[in-house]
Structure 1
Amino acid sequence: MATPTRTAPDRAPYDNWRPPIVGVSLLVPIGADCIAVADLRGMLMLPTGGLHEGQTLHEAARRVLTDPSGELQLLRRVTVDRVQTRRRKVITHVMAAAPLTHEAVPGLVYRDPRATIRVIPTMQFLDQTCPEGKRRLLISLQALATGEAAAMDGGVVRAAAPGPRALDARVAQGLPDSTGQRLR
């Protein structure tokens, strides 16, 4: 009786069949040269949490960092970072808040009770973070300063598509669009 021979299965192209992991990070400026970070047993990071199905970015951001005094005001999304890992895509939305004072920070409550919210100089945080985190923060700070949104896809940075309010502002100012034509 002959035994069947086994052949190696054909290599199928990668199929990203798992849903992406979507999160929200908060960029909270304190004064002109500091930011609020979460200190989780010595690991410093921007306050971060998940975006659950049916939630808006603002709702998810408010779950990450609550402020009983109401001083924390979320402005807008400044950066979207998309990274394809081995098994799934990870999408992080960086939301910017209006600058706070040093006195307002002790009232902030992080979603993880093991962590505390600290204020550190932005340059010190940049020196202590990984290269990917450093790139994301620098791009987010630039987008916050210029009023534009940025998108990062696999480490490649590009301007995000303008939202309806940004387009309305460009029309009102008579600024050119991406083709050089004046908007009307």
Structure 2
Amino acid sequence: MPTATATAPGQRRHAAYENWRPPVIGVSLLVPVGADCITVVDLQGMLMLPAGGVYDGQTPQEAGHRVLADPSGRLRLLRRVAVDSVQMRRRKVITHVMAAAPMTRGAVTGLVYRDPRATVRVMPTLQFLDQWPTGRTRLLVSLQALATGDTPCIEGGVVQAQVPSALGT
């Protein structure tokens, strides 16, 4: 017969909530501008890389084209450069970072972000790194992967050389 264990009054037992809901899968775009700038989105004062969701049956590449609309057709997504996976309390959040071919400042002004409240800007990479501490590791790993041709994975803040097959879509 199983034995019940009592907890002290006022103490709560915490059960692990890990992955009881399906993961949230998103895509983030790394669009270089020249040798020292990147394309960022300014959403009412919050700076970030252009990002969006990956829907069922959609590849990260297809989702990336939905994040930034380009009427001129100059935005070319090259490849996935990194995968960032974070275990939240109840579900895993997986972000595929897609790199685009370098663009000019003039071409970036024609890009339209999926959220009409945001503006697309060009910003020096080092300045953006200083203002975006939460995504610093993701951006640095993605820039290095773009230069080397690798596709690393960041799992819970730890950089791994290869993307685990469970995360690669």
TM range (shorter): 0.7 to 0.9
Question: What is aligned with 2:20?
Answer: 17
**Aligned-partner SS, 1:149:** coil
CA distance in 1 between counterparts of 2:52 and 2:113 reads 10
User: Residue 37 of structure 1 aligns with which residue?
Assistant: 40
The two structures, once aligned, show a CA RMSD in angstroms of: 1.9
Q: 4+ residue runs of structure 1 moved beyond 2 angstroms?
A: 7-15
TM-score with structure 1 setting the length: 0.80
More moved, 9-18 vs 110-119: 9-18
1:66 to 49, 64, 69: 69
1:13: Cα distance to partner? 4.3
Q: Shift of residue 108 of structure 1? A: 0.4
Q: Number of aligned pairs? A: 156
Q: Residue by residue, what CA displacement relative to the aligned partner does 1:100-142 show, whole Å, maximum 9, x if unpaired? A: 0111011101000000100010000000012x30011000000
Name structure 2 gaps, 5 residues minimum: 1-5, 165-169
1:105 aligns with 2:105: no
When you count helix as a share of all residues, which structure comes out higher? Answer: 1
Alpha-carbon contact 2:28-2:98 (below 8 Å) kept = yes
Which of 1 and 2 has greater Rg?
1
Choose the corresponding residue for 1:143, options 142, 145, 148.
145
- Change in CA separation of 1:12 and 1:103 when aligned onto 2, cut-off 3 Å: closer
Residue 95 of structure 1, CA deviation: 0.3
Given the alignment, which residue of 87, 90, 93 partners 2:93? 90
Percent identity, aligned pairs only, is: 68
